[in-house]
A and B are shown apart, each in its own frame.
Chain A
């Protein structure tokens, strides 16, 4: 039973436009949500996180939005750059147990 779902396996966006990556979850007890970025042949790296008590967190070109009533979060990248092409994983923190990861969305930014 997938607690964290990324329903879009891939996304293509033109350079300079906005990339929106989506994530849905089922467990209302998650207290933090995180996004990780993964390049081929490398381990995932932490990108940005948001507490469940907030609805927005911004870090440079990256913004994460949380809609608790819909159990949905999204990562916005503006403007998108070719170097953003990677697989993005959504993850949720259930508290005292390890993070729960989604299956990932492959973002391709086309120059």
Chain B
């Protein structure tokens, strides 16, 4: 299994540009998540999904959109990129189980908006 994969690994955007961060998992997990991590800060939840066709906002959803058309894929769309969106973005997935919703993370996408 590849686990959780994310593309691209790095990206530089100009203010106002748009892009889609790709995330895929091959573990047949129902739950998928997008986080951002700013320097010296913890993980902030942007959006999550509990299954195909279902998405919910997290703590910091403004400026982002998501879709979940399949179990495997959970892309994150940035419209009108702003410098405040410079961050490292992590995608994660999980299944419900008794040990408490353990999440598997991708390697991250480092995004810089100039």
Residues of A within 8 A of B (CB): 6, 9, 31-34, 41-46, 49, 51, 89, 93, 98-99, 101-104
Contacts and interface: CB of A to CB of B under 8 A. Distances in A.
Given A9-B40, A44-B43, A102-B42, A32 B92 contact: no
Nearest to A45: B105
A35 B92 CA distance: 15
B2 to A, nearest CB: 13
Given A43-B105, A43-B107, A98-B58, A32 B100 contact: yes
B92 to A, nearest CB: 7
A98 B33 contact: yes
A42 B41 contact: no
| Interface of A, helix, strand, loop or mixed by DSSP | loop
Contacts of A102: 42
Interface string B81-111: 0000000001010000011111111111000
Given A32-B101, A46-B104, A49-B100, 16 more contacts: A32-B99, A34-B102, A41-B108, A43-B108, A44-B43, A45-B105, A49-B99, A51-B100, A89-B42, A93-B100, A98-B33, A98-B45, A99-B101, A101-B42, A101-B43, A103-B42
A45 B102 CA distance: 9
B76 interface: no
A44 B105 contact: yes
Contacts of B31: 98
Contacts of A93: 100-101
Nearest to B3: A43
Chain A CB within 10 Å, residue with most, of B45, B90, B103: B103
A89 B33 CA distance: 17
